[in-house]
Amino acid sequence: MIPSSYPDDATMAAMAARMLLDIKAVHFNTEQLFTHTSGKQAPTYIDCRKPIAFPRVRSTLMDFLTCKVMRDAGLEAFDNIAGGETAGIPFAALVAERMGLPMSYVRKKPKGHGRGAQIEGAMNEGERVLLVEDMTTDGGSKINFVEAIRRTGATCGHTAVIFYYDIFDHAIPTLRENGIELHWLTTWADVIAEARRGGDFTEETLVDVERFLRDPEGWRTDRGLS
């Protein structure tokens, strides 16, 4: 069912941040650091796959994301919804259901057997595809997925995520240089603001996390981390 009403962007951002905090998808620890995919350590970690285990949160976030995309890109802007392997797959399915559109998914690389497919499902030349993912940091993985979609002859100029880091100045310009517009619900700034309002973490922790997000490499250097 296509949602027909939704709050403004600021309200959705705050509500999405609160939901992520309530389900313990947000982790801040300035002493016991987290190791990110890059291999670098950080005091922050967010698990945007966790909403799939919470039906009310999952449903509300997907209503928000669907409405935001339809408002920003257009009610009839897409013919196919694609999820990026693996975290984007369940969210793409939920958005596709709401928009009444076919759903496909994109592998990180072609299968090494069978047809060697990188796109699973059905995607046709000329279709306008929305790429759905759980989150984005600097946008690099989104470009790889979009390039795979475009090789089918389909077009893809939009990607939608629940969470956007919004700490890398080059992320949005790089995506736009590749013809991709990013749509998101909430960011680190929104999460920290909501955590401060709700008292989810100590002020000392939040201040140190903000320091890290302003200058990750400087923060690591100060701590003797590579």
Q: Which pLDDT value is given to residue 112? A: 56
CA separation for the pair 59, 183 (Å, rounded)? 18
Contact assessment for residue 154 and residue 129, using Cβ atoms and an 8 Å cutoff: yes
Residue 180 backbone phi and psi in degrees, to 5: -125, 130
Closest CA to 48 of 15, 26, 18: 26
Q: Which pLDDT value is given to residue 117? A: 81
Q: Which pLDDT value is given to residue 111? A: 67
Residue 65 backbone phi and psi in degrees, to 5: -65, -40
Residues of the chain with pLDDT under 50: none
pLDDT digits (tens, 9 = 90+) for 87-115: 999 999 999 999 999 999 999 888 655 56
Q: What is the DSSP string of 116-150?
A: --SEES---TT-EEEEEEEEESSSHHHHHHHHHHH
Q: Which pLDDT value is given to residue 115? A: 61
Contact assessment for residue 10 and residue 68, using Cβ atoms and an 8 Å cutoff: no
CA separation for the pair 146, 226 (Å, rounded)? 32
Q: Which pLDDT value is given to residue 109? A: 84
The model's pTM: 0.94
Q: What is the DSSP string of 88-105?
A: HHHHHHHHHHHHT--EEE
Map out the domains of the chain with their CATH numbers. Answer: 9-218 (3.40.50.2020)
Q: Which pLDDT value is given to residue 116? A: 55
